[in-house]
Chains A and B, each alone.
Chain A
Amino acid sequence: MSRKIAIVLTVNGEPRQLLAEPRDQLADILRGALLLTGTHVGCEHGVCGACTVEIDGAPARSCITHAGSCDGSTVRTIEGFGDDAVMAELRDAFAREHALQCGYCTPGMLIAARDIVLRLPHADEARVREELSGNLCRCTGYRGIVRAVLAVLALRRGNEPTLHIPLPR
């Protein structure tokens, strides 16, 4: 067995010192060592998006990112957004629009959705759908999810118009 490595992370605002196997993915540490089981593990090869967390402020796949490579990083999981205004709006909109059924995709979906709202404040429906293509939902058919994200975008824009951002070809 390979030697364990010492890593330091800030997870949801708290400093954590951990021992990880080199082969441990960040998701394994979050779920297994820190019991933050809101981070879900689906495909384990970066396609389904269920494991999406924020690393140093940017969403990333915790199933294909080794814990060792995150040493010194700040990580935020779905449990760490309790005080976040955008996430509160998204949670409300997801509930209102029936944007989840089984809930397996929801933590990753919310973290991806928050990134869309903050990074692309003028996104239209086509762009929202494109940006959500890295998060698979097998229950809802996406209609409620897209409506929820668009509702939060509209809320935050106030009266500013939706800009048409062309789809990639």
Chain B
Amino acid sequence: MKPAPFSYARPKDWPEALQLLAAGARPGAGTQSLGPLLNLRLAQPNTIADLRHLPDFAGVTSSSAHIRIAAGTTHAAIEDGAVPGRTGEIMADVARRIAYRPVRNRGTIGGSLAHADPAGDWVAVLPALGATAIAIGASGERRIPTAGFVTGIFETALAEGELLRAVEVPMLSADAKWGHWKFCRKPGEFSKATACVLVVPGRPARAVLAALDAPPLVIEDAAALVADSDGEAPRLADLVPGLADWRRALAETALRRAVAMAAGS
């Protein structure tokens, strides 16, 4: 099917993009999620503001403590090593398993997070890494922990009139341990249950349980899970409302496997 008609706008700078947004435009970046929704006519915006031509749309900058990844950075760039250090290793491994390479060449980390599909990859991984979303609005930039960023299915903590400009990820030490399991029957398809576990020496372990038709469940102190995943995984899966038995089984198993992977990494 073809999209319903819409108008196209190409803002040259962020203030112009925010003006278009205020006037009701829908932001578009790689359109690898929005494109299918348009083709299926599940989304019928009046105007799409194409953010691809904005300055600093894509790119990675880093300090000793943090890495700032511009929202328009593609999954393929992250797969190919655009993010430095141990954080970059983890993110490259995640990126490589998002959809398919031709999709990763256009799809962006910011678009994926702002789209807030519960089965998406970055909505689960970024809170596990302790990342911060950086929004831009009429009054400047605002920092939002990604742990609370996704508030519902396709719903985020972005306020009306705000755009996601970047994500800031901690520069993890080389001894950071990481486990990530997602249940996909076919490579590249949407996950049926995802779990992430990050263990950094000297800090509480963090875990995320996601892709369960609900916002990601972020466990800020996952020490109990890491110590006893058999006992703790069922309790955590219980915190996600309305899971069918098979889905609960996948969720528990994803958590156990992510813990085991982190222990072995």
Q: Are A21 and B5 in contact (CB under 8 A)?
A: yes
Chain B residue nearest in CB terms to A51: B102
Number of chain B interface residues as a range: 35 or more
B101 touches A59 (CB 8 A): yes
- With an 8 A cutoff between CB atoms, is B36 at the interface? yes
Chain A residues in 8 Å Cβ range of B101: 59, 112, 115, 119, 131, 134
Residues from chain B with a CB closer than 8 A to the CB of A3 are 7
**A124 part of interface (Cβ distance < 8 Å):** no
Report how many A-B pairs have Cβ atoms within 8 Å. 104
Asked whether any CB of chain A lies closer than 8 Å to the CB of B127, the reply is no
Q: In the complex the two chains form, is B36's CB within 8 Å of A66's CB?
A: no
A76 in contact (CB, < 8 A): no
Within the assembled complex, what's the spacing in Å between the Cα atoms of A44 and B102? 14
Contact code string B102-126 (vs A, CB < 8 Å = 1, else 0): 1101100000000000000000000
Name B1-17 residues within 8 Å CB distance of A: 1-8, 10
Which residue on B lies nearest to A22, using beta carbons?
B8
Segment 14-36 of A: residues with Cβ below 8 Å from B: 21-23, 25, 28
* CB of A11, distance to nearest CB on chain B (Å): 18
Whether B96 sits at the interface, judged by CB under 8 Å, is: yes
Q: B156 within 8 Å of A by Cβ? A: no
Tell whether, in the assembled complex, residue A58 and residue B76 are in contact, meaning their CB atoms are under 8 Å apart: yes
* Residue contact A49 to B102, C-beta cutoff 8 Å: yes
Residue interface bits B1-39, CB-to-A below 8 A is 1, else 0: 111111110100000000000000000100110011011
**Residues of B close to A28: CB separation below 8 A:** 2
Given A69-B50, A134-B188, A45 and B7 touching (CB < 8 A)?
no
Cβ contact of A49, chosen from B35, B39, B100, cutoff 8 A: B100
Q: Are B39 and A22 touching (Cβ within 8 A)? A: no
Q: Does A133 lie at the interface of the complex (its beta carbon under 8 Å from any beta carbon of B)?
A: yes
CB of B253, distance to nearest CB on chain A (Å)? 12
Given A46-B103, A134-B188, check contact A64 B36 (CB 8 Å): yes
- The answer to the question of B240 belonging to the interface, with a C-beta cut-off of 8 Å to chain A, is no
Partner of B31, one of A1, A69, A131: A69
Docked pose: A71 CA to B53 CA in angstroms: 10
A5-B8, A22-B8 are contacts. A130–B187 as well, Cβ < 8 Å? yes
Contact: B40 with A23, CB < 8 Å? no
Checking A23, A71, A133, A168 against B3 with a beta-carbon cut-off of 8 angstroms, the contacting residue is A23
Taken together as a complex, chains A and B put the C-alpha atoms of A69 and B50 apart, in Å, by: 7
On whether the beta carbons of A60 and B1 are closer than 8 Å, the reply is no
Q: Taking the complex as formed, is A2 at the interface, i.e. its CB lies under 8 A from any CB of chain B?
A: yes
- Contacts of A22 on B, CB cut-off 8 Å? 5-8, 48
Q: Report yes or no: A2 in contact with B5, Cβ–Cβ below 8 A.
A: yes
The residue in A28, A55, A60 that gathers the most chain B C-beta atoms within 10 A of its C-beta is: A60
Judge whether B6 and A69 touch: CB under 8 Å. Answer: no
B203 lies within 8 A of chain A by Cβ? no
Q: Is A40 an interface residue (CB 8 A)?
A: no
- Minimum C-beta distance from A114 to chain B (A): 12
Roughly how many angstroms separate A112 CA and B96 CA in the complex, as a whole number? 15
- The interface residues of chain A lying within 8 Å CB-to-CB of B39 are 25, 44-45, 63-64
16 additional A-B pairs beyond A22-B48, A25-B39, A112-B101, beta carbons within 8 Å, are A1-B5, A2-B8, A22-B6, A23-B4, A25-B35, A28-B2, A45-B36, A45-B39, A58-B76, A59-B101, A60-B106, A64-B35, A66-B35, A134-B99, A134-B103, A169-B261
9 sampled A-B residue pairs with Cβ under 8 A:
A45-B39, A46-B99, A49-B100, A60-B106, A65-B35, A68-B8, A68-B50, A119-B101, A133-B186
